[in-house]
Structure 1
Amino acid sequence: MLNEFNTAVWTNGRSYLVTDNSTFQAFNKKFGSLTASGSYKIPASWQSALSNGARAGEVIGLLINGVASDRWGYRKTMVAALTAMMGFIFVLFFAPNVETLVVGEVLCGIPWGIFQTLAVSYASEVCPVVLRPYLTTYINMCWVFGQFVASGVNRGAVQRHDQWAYRIPFAVQWIWPLPILIGCLFAPESPWWHVRHGDHEGARRALKRLTSDNDPDFSIDNTIAMIEYTNELEKKLAAGTSYRDCFKGIDLRRTEIVCGVWIVQTLCGTNIMGYSSYFLVQAGLPTVHSFDLSMGQLGLGLLGTLGSWFLMPHFGRRTLHFTGVSILCIIMFIVGCLGFSHASSSKWAVGAMLIVFTFVYDFTVGPVAYSLVSEMSSTRLKSKTVVLARCCYNISNIVVNVLTNYQLSSSSWNWGVRAAYFWAGTAFICAVWEYFRLPEPKGRTYSELDMLFEQRVPARKFKSTKVDPFNADHQYAHPSEIMEDMSLDKLDIK
């Protein structure tokens, strides 16, 4: 939730600076310059730097995480990132000018980038298959909850006219790192990471902490053997551990899917979704109440994520994600049609449709993407594949932000609400891509997914194709035979 809260503080703050310059006049006076009209304003060039500075830092953090989590483990990487976060917030809080503020944004972006992908990879490796979709999609709920808290903080500071109007949101960011860091110190490392590094005793300790001693059906030895089996199977299928390996053989297809799923989040119209409050303000809603509306909108997002937990076991990830993108495409088309009306009621209708968009998005595309991203890559390349996907997401987000600003700005293209037609088109393209390229991983173990990709099964047939990764066509025996052949000494289990 830390990254989501920090991002939302800036997102909310910047969006309302655009819609109502008096809202954060203390911020403008501190970091802006005096204009001919007698008001203070941050130059457009520095607004762009503030918007994209954190994105640049996140890309750096993502690339660092891909190497650091593989080498030192998820837990140590997270602890280091949280420690750095606490230090970098000082730069934001005490920034004397806009230049220092941009530097602080870039520095804070580095641990934010680490948070973005580390949680997905870790969550997918420490839970059983049946719980994997719930724990990974819970990350989306943390995103929404962080934005919800940030909206509340901004709502509380919006009517202040002193320096604390912007210092309070900065200072609140210090609340999160320390308790999270303490929790991480007591969290077990991923048993998969231990096995990949040949530390079977470490994997055994981690599994003992992750499971209950009262479960008679659970065997630590069998689980370690299965993890090692999958690891060896992926090595057999030529899955290395470098970024270059993400673009080789069957892993190229897996990288495409993981990157595509996250890029869909930016191309289905989500940037327009954040402007529901803006259109309602244009319709006559007071600016201060738009904060209340945004909190209600995020509340619907929380309910949507909860709803996805009930739908995924019945419909699967592919069906839910594809259906969600298709519905979002229709909503964008309707919003575009409303743009031809100049009545105040049409702006209320646009705002209402975008709130519905938020609910549908957080019911389907938002949370389900996290589950798909964690399941589609091989376990040996998971951290690096997820890093590449998130880099694609951030880069596409920068492009989408620029396009949206041009589309909605009255001094540029001035498309207004009709910009939704453009995003309806991109959402349609995303839906077509998903129909032909997005597989269904529901109920599949990582070894089964490995074999489905090796056999180049079409995405639409993943759900119906039966596969046995332990059959005689491969060099590996059935798990029961593995346990007979692998002595405790070979497993390094005492």
Structure 2
Amino acid sequence: MPWGAFQTLSVSYASEVCPLTLRIYLTTFVNACWVIGQLISSCVLKGVLNIEGVNGYKIPFALQWVFPLPIAIGIYLAPESPWWLIKKGRDEEAKHSIKRLLSANEHMPDTEPLANAMLNKMQLTVKEEELVGAGTTYWDCLKGANLRRTRVASMCWLAQNITGSTLMGYSTYFYTQAGLDTGMSFTFTIIQYILGLIGTVGSWFLSIRGGRFDIYFAGLCIQAILLIVVGGLGCASSKGASWGIGSMLLVFTFVYDMTVGPITYCIVSEIPSVQMRTKTIIIARNIYNVSGIVLYIITPYMLNPTAWNWKAKTGFFWAGFAVACSIWAWFDLPETKGRTFAELDKLFNAGVSARKFKSTEVETFNSKAMLERAQGDEIKNMVETTKQIDNGIFEKDPQQKV
């Protein structure tokens, strides 16, 4: 259960505590944290490689006790998600949480007006979803527009898992089976994760120019090509081919951690509705986990010379999935860059096709349409208050609004 929380809540929390322009950086940093952990693990295993006796496995286990305490302290001090507090009707606590996430500067010496504006917009987004009938159960994730959102989020995470990433998890063993000695295999693995970390940082620069779909789709296509090359080199049996396979896997890791790896965390946090975000992410991640059970059973058979003995020719197997996932992404993965959660709600509820998400103009918080579905002046007051606060904050400095 803690492991499930780590996999799902970190993604939804990251998307809920940062502004739109920073969402890509914080959500993709989740991928960087995975890579950092894998890098530390590889360095530790490289260090104990020649230690004989029980210390060879006790030291790696014992070192893991270093991390829980500082992480637990950091989590305890972190603000609660304002979106979650608003859904629970705890608006004052939500406002306090928002103010903790803001910082004063020369343009905004007082954060109170901005906190009020953000609170009102969050309230409107939640209220709008309630009025169009968004539910609160897992079954509601499979109804109407939520079904499409659940499918896209699930496929994004599934594609991340079935397009060759398991080769990175078994990289050290894969390198030894490709013909490299044990020490060099661990060295290659360490280099691999360093490149993965560099790739994740590189994805931040890519995101400035490219959209979520652009990066994800391009990554799948490049991965397919690299996996075909790995499979082709696996058909040879020379020392040069073994080094070529190792080099291609390093390039593959760099590409994966610059595209599909990190951008998935951003996409799956943006695709679900506010009401159903955590539940949708949990369903999507469990599909990833179920596929992982299958993959981590069959991958050793593929690589092991006493079993299927495919070795590097497994690249052909994963390349097929990469091509299939590229086709799916083209027809079903929408562009979410620059869209607020309210705008995404409108686009999904209107059934806009994936390739038109980027160009379609939407109107959010239409008070007239919302009032037709609601009783009283609660929503109208929220809309008017938000407009007044926005005007008060931005009328002196239009550039700040941008």
User: Partners of 1:478 and 1:459 in 2: how far apart?
Assistant: 32
TM-score (norm 2): 0.89
1:305-344 matches, within 5 Å, as 305-344=200-239
1:415 CA displacement: 2.4
User: Partners of 1:309 and 1:479 in 2: how far apart?
Assistant: 39
Gaps of 5+ in 1: 1-60, 62-110, 487-494
Residues 1:184 and 1:484: Cα distance change in structure 2 (over 3 Å): closer
1:282 CA displacement: 4.5
User: Partners of 2:206 and 2:9 in 1: how far apart?
Assistant: 26
* 1:243 aligned residue: 138
Q: In the alignment, residue 159 of structure 1 is paired with which amino acid?
A: N
* 1:482 aligned residue: 384
SS in 2 for 1:290: helix
* 1:207 aligned residue: 98
User: Partners of 1:389 and 1:419 in 2: how far apart?
Assistant: 26
Q: Name the count of aligned residue pairs.
A: 378
Query: What do residues 423-450 of structure 1 show as CA deviations (whole Å, max 9, x unaligned)?
Result: 1111111000000000111010000000
C-alpha contact (below 8 Å) 2:177/2:304 kept by paired residues: no
User: Out of 315, 319, 341, which is 1:424 matched to?
Assistant: 319
Query: What do residues 205-239 of structure 1 show as CA deviations (whole Å, max 9, x unaligned)?
Result: 11111111332585211111101100011112221
1:268 CA displacement: 0.8
Query: What do residues 168-209 of structure 1 show as CA deviations (whole Å, max 9, x unaligned)?
Result: 111111111111111222211111111111111101111111
User: Partners of 2:25 and 2:196 in 1: how far apart?
Assistant: 16
* 1:345 aligned residue: 240
C-alpha contact (below 8 Å) 1:259/1:393 kept by paired residues: yes
User: Out of 120, 123, 129, which is 2:20 matched to?
Assistant: 129
1:471 CA displacement: 3.5
User: Partners of 2:171 and 2:60 in 1: how far apart?
Assistant: 23
1:267 CA displacement: 1.1
Query: What do residues 3-46 of structure 1 show as CA deviations (whole Å, max 9, x unaligned)?
Result: xxxxxxxxxxxxxxxxxxxxxxxxxxxxxxxxxxxxxxxxxxxx
C-alpha contact (below 8 Å) 1:257/1:438 kept by paired residues: yes
SS in 2 for 1:439: coil
C-alpha contact (below 8 Å) 2:199/2:255 kept by paired residues: yes
Residues 1:426 and 1:478: Cα distance change in structure 2 (over 3 Å): farther
1:377-416 matches, within 5 Å, as 377-416=272-311
Residues 1:445 and 1:153: Cα distance change in structure 2 (over 3 Å): same
1:157 aligns with 2:48: yes
* 2:189 aligned residue: 294
1:250-289 matches, within 5 Å, as 250-282=145-177, 285-289=180-184
**Displaced runs of 4+ in structure 1, greater than 4 A?**
476-480
Q: In the alignment, residue 133 of structure 1 is paired with which amino acid?
A: I
C-alpha contact (below 8 Å) 1:279/1:347 kept by paired residues: no
User: Out of 336, 352, 358, which is 1:463 matched to?
Assistant: 358
User: Partners of 2:349 and 2:221 in 1: how far apart?
Assistant: 30
1:478 CA displacement: 7.8
Q: In the alignment, residue 329 of structure 1 is paired with which amino acid?
A: A
C-alpha contact (below 8 Å) 2:178/2:245 kept by paired residues: no
**How many percent of aligned residue pairs carry the same amino acid?**
47
1:313 CA displacement: 2.0
User: Partners of 1:314 and 1:478 in 2: how far apart?
Assistant: 37
C-alpha contact (below 8 Å) 2:158/2:291 kept by paired residues: yes
User: Out of 97, 112, 115, which is 1:220 matched to?
Assistant: 115
1:144 aligns with 2:35: yes
C-alpha contact (below 8 Å) 1:300/1:359 kept by paired residues: yes
* 1:232 aligned residue: 127
1:363 aligns with 2:254: no
* 2:393 aligned residue: none
1:311 CA displacement: 0.6
C-alpha contact (below 8 Å) 1:273/1:355 kept by paired residues: no
C-alpha contact (below 8 Å) 2:124/2:365 kept by paired residues: no
Residues 1:419 and 1:179: Cα distance change in structure 2 (over 3 Å): same
User: Partners of 1:276 and 1:334 in 2: how far apart?
Assistant: 17
User: Partners of 2:366 and 2:125 in 1: how far apart?
Assistant: 14
1:474 CA displacement: 2.2
User: Partners of 2:339 and 2:309 in 1: how far apart?
Assistant: 48
1:442 aligns with 2:337: yes
SS in 2 for 1:363: coil
Please give the root-mean-square deviation of Cα atoms over the aligned residues, in Å. 2.1
